[in-house]
Structure formats: C-alpha cells, structure tokens
Amino acid sequence: MKDELLGQARNLGFSLLGIADPGLFERYPRIRKPAESDKYLQHPHEIWPDCRSVVVLGLHCREEVLDAIVRMDNLWGTFYWEILCHREYRLRDWFRQQGCEAKITNDVSVKRAAVLAGLGHIGRNSLVAHPKYGSNLRFGLLLTDAEMAFDEPNDPLESAPCGDCRRCEDVCPGGAISDYRVDFSRCIIPAAEGRFSNDEQKIREARRIQQRGEVVEVECNLCQKTCPLNEAG
Ligand code: SF4
Ligand code: SF4
C-alpha cells in the first residue's frame, strides 16, 4: 500500500512523503501550541487510539510566493496552506476508497512528525530542514489506521547542521529566535495579528516593518528565506 500511496501523493504534487510510527511520539517531550502558549499539542494515540501510521506530507515552496495571501469573500489564508489542505483532503478520500480510515489533524506537531518520519532535523530557526529542500517546505499530516512500513526516524532532540550560522537569529526583526526556539510573543506575525500581545507599540512596530515592503500582509518568514540550507533545493 505504501507504494500506491507514494504514487498518489506524487500525482497530487506533494514533494515529500514519510511515514512515522505513532507510538514514537510519546517518547519525547510535548510541544506547546504556538498560538496558545499554555496548551500542548497531542500525541497521535491521544487523538485516535486506533491510529497505526502517521503520514507526513511535504510541499516544496517557491520563495517568491511564500507570503502570498489568498482571499475569498471574508476568508483568507496563505497560498501554500490552501494548496496543502486541498490535497490532504483528496488523499484522505483516497484512503477511504481503499477501505481505511484517515483523519486530518492540526493537533499533532507537524514538525515533530516530519522529524520522526525521517524528513529532516530542526534548525536554529525552529523549522524542519530537509537535506534537499532546506526549510522551504510546508507540512501536513494524516493519521490512518492503515498499517505501513515506517521510515527511519530522525531524533527530534538532534539539531540540523547549522554550524556557526546565525543568519535567522540576526535577520529576525522581533529578536524572537534563540536556542533553536521561536518566542512567539516576539515574532511579528502574531504581533501584527494582535495575538499573544496586547502591546499596542509592538503591534504598531510590526505593521511599520510590514509597510517597508520586506514582508507582505501579516507574513514575514525572513527566518525561513534567509536560510542557506534552502539553497540545495
Ligand atoms: S517570521 Fe519573522 S518575526 Fe517571526 S520569527 Fe521569523 S524572522 Fe522573526
Ligand atoms: S539560517 Fe543558519 S542558523 Fe538558521 S536554520 Fe538556517 S542554517 Fe541554521
């Protein structure tokens, strides 16, 4: 079934696919929800005890449209998330046609899942760095009760080969990056959206940076765009 799944994912335009063991997630410390610092992401078996495989899907992003915003009536979303979601639903339907159940979830860490599916390591910018695409990726995941061979996992506690590079830390306008973590109270994206912070001055500063033309709408992604690990892709 894994070969057929790979073919389906390729036909849908996914750049990467990895299968992680749902039982592995419990061996590592929990990750906080980025948007709600007092809440934690869940392990796959907490969401669905019958989950047998975690399917991690990666979409290679072109930097030119990384910040593009899609608008429809009163709805908006970033370009790549819209594409990713649409394709995830099609793959979920494919699983159901095979007689298996599959669920899309946003409650499991996609970055942890990508590392446990062998798709890269966490870089200093706290993003998953893949050997070919660097961090120019968006990930989605599906939980399924289909049994498939797991890919060789990487260690989530092992960092990407950043060496002496600190470009992402240096470029961050909010000074949000240190020690392989992003402090979301300092990242300008949530600040510009008024999340995490009621600090009007911080929100005004975020909007001022956006208007300089370095970023578009509420996106920034400078920590992603500056990474030399992206260059191989
Ligand atoms: S998105 Fe921008 S502000 Fe947020 S951590 Fe990255 S570089 Fe810093
Ligand atoms: S910009 Fe440099 S320090 Fe940051 S993740 Fe990329 S390689 Fe690592």
How do residues 128-171 score in pLDDT, each as one tens digit? 999 888 888 889 999 999 999 999 999 988 877 788 999 999 98
C-beta of 162 in contact with ligand 2 (< 6 A) = yes
Nearest partner of 148 among 59, 45, 17, 44, judged by Cα: 17
Position in ligand 2 atom list of the atom nearest CA 171: 1
Cα 213 to chain centroid, rounded: 25
Residue 175: CB within 6 Å of ligand 2? no
Q: What is the pLDDT of residue 185?
A: 76
pTM for the model: 0.84
pLDDT score recorded for residue 216: 43
Ligand 1 nearest-atom number relative to CA 177: 5
Q: Find the helix or strand (DSSP H, E) in which 16 lies.
A: strand 16-20
172 within ligand 1 shell (Cβ under 6 A): yes
Whether 134 lines ligand 2, by a CB cut-off of 6 Å, is: no
Q: How far apart are CA 18 and CA 94, in angstroms?
A: 17
- Distance in Å, CA 165 to ligand 2 centroid: 6
- Write down the pLDDT at residue 124: 92
Confidence (pLDDT) at 138 = 87
Per-domain residue ranges of the chain: 2-144, 167-232
Q: What share of the chain is helix, strand, coil (3-state, %, to 5)?
A: 35, 20, 40
pLDDT score, position 105 = 92
Residue nearest to atom 3 of ligand 1 (CA): 187
pLDDT the model gives residue 214: 47
**Which of the residues in the chain have pLDDT under 70?**
34-37, 63-80, 82, 190-219, 232-233
Closest CA to 67 of 169, 233, 213: 213
Establish whether residue 181 lines the binding site of ligand 2, counting it when its CB lies within 6 angstroms of any ligand atom.
Answer: no
Does ligand 1 come within 6 angstroms of the Cβ of 182?
yes
Tokens of 173: 């306008």
